[in-house]
Structure formats: C-alpha cells, structure tokens
Amino acid sequence: MPAALPYPAPPEPPPPGANASRRPLVDLHRHLEGAVRVSTVLELARRERHLGPDSALPQLSSVLRRAGQFRAIDLAGNEAGYAARLFAPAYDRAREAGLRLTAHAGEAAGPESVWDAVRHLRAERIGHGVRAAEDPRPMSHLAEHGIALEVALTSNVQTRAAASYAEHPVRTLLRHGVPVTLNTDNPRASGTTLPREYDLAASRGGLTEEDLTAMARHSLAASFL
C-alpha cells in the first residue's frame, strides 16, 4: 500500500471532459513538464539538523565549484525561526556569481517574511508567498517589480497556509497585479500534477480562463531557463 500523506489528500479531480476548454493550457504545461531543458536550483535550509545560516556560504561555495550545474538558489525551512536576512551574505555571493534568486516566504510566516526576502535577499521569485495578500504593501511591490509568486494550491491547503481552495488568496493576488504562477510544490507528497492543479484552480478555486492564461504566461516569463 502507498505511504499515507502527512496531511489530508487532495480532492478528486473533475470528471473527464469537464474542463475541455482548458486543454490547450494543460497541454502546454504537460509539454513543458516533459521538456529536456531544465534548470537545477540549490535549496539552502533555514534550519534542518546541522544546516542553517552558518552553513549557507559553505553550501554555496561547494556549488560554485561546479560552475554551470546550477542556475539558481532557493531558501526553505522555518521561516518564522530563521529570517531571510540571516542568509543575505550567501545571496549576495550567489548574485555576484550570476545565479538567479528565489526564496520561500509568506507561507508559514506572515507578509513580513515576504518583505524580508525581497529587501534582504533581493529575491526575483518567492516560493508560495501567499500571505503577502494580507498586506497591500508587499502586493504592490511584487506587482510593480514583477516578482513572481510560486503558488501551489493543493500544498497550501494541506499545510493550512490557505483554509481551502475556495478561500485561497490567489485571486486577491492576481487582482492586485501580482505575477502568480501555478505549481505542484512536491507532487509526490501532495498527490498532484500540474494539469490537476489547473483543473482544481478552476473547479475549486474559482479562477477564470483569463486567470489561468495569465498564470501560464507568468510561469514562462518567470522561468530561470
């Protein structure tokens, strides 16, 4: 039997044919998922076992010795306990080396963690970032500077970053002009796929065809390829 998920399983997808009008978008992303050209992102851990701020520069130095194998760096882990600014030296070094920058924020911690990632790390994308919707100031900044959010609806519901698909703040973010992209986060843990996320975004999240098209375009524009 498959291992149980650490949080509630996602709902069943809509029946076949229910979302036929979105097939071009779904087919586009299925094509992109199977594309040969990919980028590898180094993920620094805020704190996990022996990892944390003190290990960020050594981790990065190891990566920089393998020039060309990595395209960007990311930051994940305990947002509330280990603020993004603690990792600024590693991000400064990565930027100097030509790496692109993303960081998880605004999921387990509030909108201030998004500000932290933008101001101190100068992140070009934000992992999740959904709690930016609680404050119009970071939303305005994200929209003005084209900083994309890597939103994963099912994951956000499972981790309680959003109360439900229907109450997910993705629509608020889009209405404020924030470039939102749709993602799976960890597809195996969440039991989802990108086409499924698009279907759920419409059937459970109330997103329109225009919303889905905008998110697909944001994904292409924000890619690190």
Q: What is the DSSP string of 130-145?
A: GGGGG-HHHHHHHHHH
Is 202 part of a structural domain of the chain?
A: yes
Is 1 part of a structural domain of the chain?
A: no
209 is catalytic: no
The one-letter amino acid code at 134 reads E
Is 4 part of a structural domain of the chain?
A: no
Mean pLDDT of 37-63: 66
Q: Which of 43, 48, 96, 107 is catalytic?
A: 107
Is 46 part of a structural domain of the chain?
A: yes
Indicate which CATH number applies to the domain containing 42: 3.20.20.140
Is 9 part of a structural domain of the chain?
A: no
Helix (H) or strand (E) holding 44: strand 41-45
Is 193 part of a structural domain of the chain?
A: yes
Is 15 part of a structural domain of the chain?
A: no
Q: Give me the chain's average pLDDT, please.
A: 83
Overall number of domains in the chain: 1
Distances 172 to 17, 166, 197, 212 between C-alpha atoms, Å:
28, 12, 18, 14
Is 120 part of a structural domain of the chain?
A: yes
Q: How confident is the model at residue 194 (pLDDT cuts 50, 70, 90)?
A: very high
Mean pLDDT of 127-144: 96
Q: Which range of residues forms the domain containing residue 85?
A: 21-222
> Terminal CA-to-CA distance of the chain, rounded, Å?
38
Question: Lowest mean pLDDT: which of 7-16, 71-80, 105-114?
Answer: 7-16
Largest CA distance in the chain: 52
